[in-house]
């Protein structure tokens, strides 16, 4: 009898040691099991400086690590505010594993109300990965995220919306490559678990950044290149604060956590009964600098040959009429007047 009790206690302790989470060391600080810690990571290049606000959640059970970035584009408010909600929505006492949440990767773009680029060095953070340790501020931010967050992640999520001029349909997306079938399939399942009605495949076949010899440029592409299942959220538009988009983002991340097994308590999953999968996108661009007048809005279903809008010069003369090149859903359309030669005006998603 005594021996049995000892055995049971021994087994219980072993199982306890096997699952209890230890501290998570981040930036020389121990994040204790069942707690969260806030970090403001300084990024300095000699003449300029910024900081990256990061929350690290360490669960009570041992598990995997999820990296999440918001505000890679600092004018995209829905993901930034969604990430604010997650600070309180994620309870480390009911968590398995670790979540590293970048609250605002592009702090200078945010404070400077600057779409796409940082006002400090004029660079687009989401074209700067994997970054440079001795580069400009934006390149150093990319380097920090690559080397201290992506490098530690088993899964990765980057959250965006339509930037200042972009009217955008809500969707999730996953990175895919036929040479990486398992990582791609896991990414697809993750993207589906977010519960969006539309799921876009970012196919990287033939893109040589996957084979190491070219920069990844995109935050999520850097994670995918390292063999990490990687997904994006695109939700919100035009620098507008829309509560439904903010709530959608926070809810979809909780669904993802549930799917990945990070939540110890049941969470209601956001589900889409019939998600539409999109593997092909058609881009239309402007041939001129000038003013754009959209004739459609994001989410519209368009037929090949339909007018999407037109570009005029500064005296009102029409320079270009833009027509749909295929049937499909309008994933994005520029909704404000300025347009530059070569810029994307519209993206049509061909529905599979």
For Zn ion, the closer CB: 24 or 218: 218
Does 248 help bind Zn ion (rule: CB under 5 A)? no
Q: How far is the CB of 139 from Zn ion (least distance, A)?
A: 17
For Zn ion, the closer CB: 76 or 222: 76
Three-state DSSP state, 39 = strand
Three-state DSSP state, 324 = coil
C-alpha angle with apex 243: 241 to 246, nearest 5 degrees? 85
Which of 36, 96, 140, 160 binds Zn ion (CB under 5 A)? It is: 160
Q: Which stretch binds Zn ion (CB under 5 A): 85-93, 153-161, 298-306, 328-336?
A: 153-161
Q: How far is the CB of 169 from Zn ion (least distance, A)?
A: 14
Q: Which stretch binds Zn ion (CB under 5 A): 73-81, 177-185, 223-231, 312-320?
A: 73-81
Quote the distance between the C-alpha of residue 162 and its chain's center.
12
Does 73 help bind Zn ion (rule: CB under 5 A)? yes
Q: What count of other Cβ atoms lies within 10 Å of the Cβ of residue 285?
A: 14
Q: Which stretch binds Zn ion (CB under 5 A): 20-28, 51-59, 157-165, 168-176?
A: 157-165
Q: Give residues with Cβ within 8 angstroms of 235, minimum separation 6.
A: 78, 79, 82, 159, 160, 161, 170, 171, 196, 245, 248, 249, 252
What is the x/- site pattern for Zn ion, positions 86-125, by CB under 5 A?
----------------------------------------
Give the dihedral sign, CA 149/153/159/163.
positive
**CA-wise closest residue to 39 among 50, 48, 25, 27:** 27
Q: Which stretch binds Zn ion (CB under 5 A): 70-78, 148-156, 208-216, 299-307?
A: 70-78
Q: Which residues bind Zn ion (CB under 5 A)?
A: 73, 76, 160
């Amino acid at each position: 009898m005594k021996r049995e009790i000892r055995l049971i206690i021994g087994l219980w302790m072993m199982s306890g040691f096997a699952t209890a989470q230890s501290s998570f060391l981040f930036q020389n600080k121990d994040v204790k099991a069942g707690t969260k810690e806030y970090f403001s990571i300084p990024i300095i290049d000699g003449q300029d400086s910024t900081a990256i606000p990061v929350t690290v959640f360490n669960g009570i059970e041992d598990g995997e690590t999820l990296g999440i970035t918001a505000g890679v584009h600092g004018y995209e408010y829905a993901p930034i505010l969604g990430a604010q909600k997650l600070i309180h929505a994620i309870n480390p006492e009911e968590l398995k594993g670790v979540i590293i949440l970048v609250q605002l990767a592009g702090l200078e773009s945010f404070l400077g109300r600057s779409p796409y680029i940082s006002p400090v060095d004029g660079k687009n953070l989401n074209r700067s990965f994997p970054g440079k340790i001795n580069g400009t501020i934006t390149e150093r931010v990319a380097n920090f995220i690559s080397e201290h967050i992506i490098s530690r992640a088993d899964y990765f999520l980057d959250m965006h919306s339509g930037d200042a001029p972009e009217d955008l349909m809500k969707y999730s997306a996953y990175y895919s490559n036929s040479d990486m079938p398992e990582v791609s399939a896991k990414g697809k399942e993750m993207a589906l678990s977010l519960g969006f009605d539309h799921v876009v495949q970012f196919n990287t076949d033939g893109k040589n950044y996957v084979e190491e010899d070219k920069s990844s440029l995109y935050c999520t592409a850097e994670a995918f290149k390292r063999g990490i299942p990687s997904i994006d959220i695109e939700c919100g538009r035009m620098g507008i604060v829309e509560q439904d988009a903010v709530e959608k983002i926070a809810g979809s991340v909780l669904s993802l956590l549930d799917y990945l097994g990070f939540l110890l308590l049941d969470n209601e999953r956001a589900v889409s009964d019939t998600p539409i999968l999109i593997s092909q996108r058609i881009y239309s661009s402007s041939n001129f600098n000038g003013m754009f007048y959209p004739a459609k809005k994001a989410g519209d279903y368009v037929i090949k040959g339909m007018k999407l809008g037109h570009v005029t010069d500064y005296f009102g003369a029409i320079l270009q009429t833009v027509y749909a090149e295929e049937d499909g859903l309008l994933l994005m359309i520029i909704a404000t007047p300025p347009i530059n030669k070569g810029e994307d005006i519209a993206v049509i998603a061909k529905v599979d």
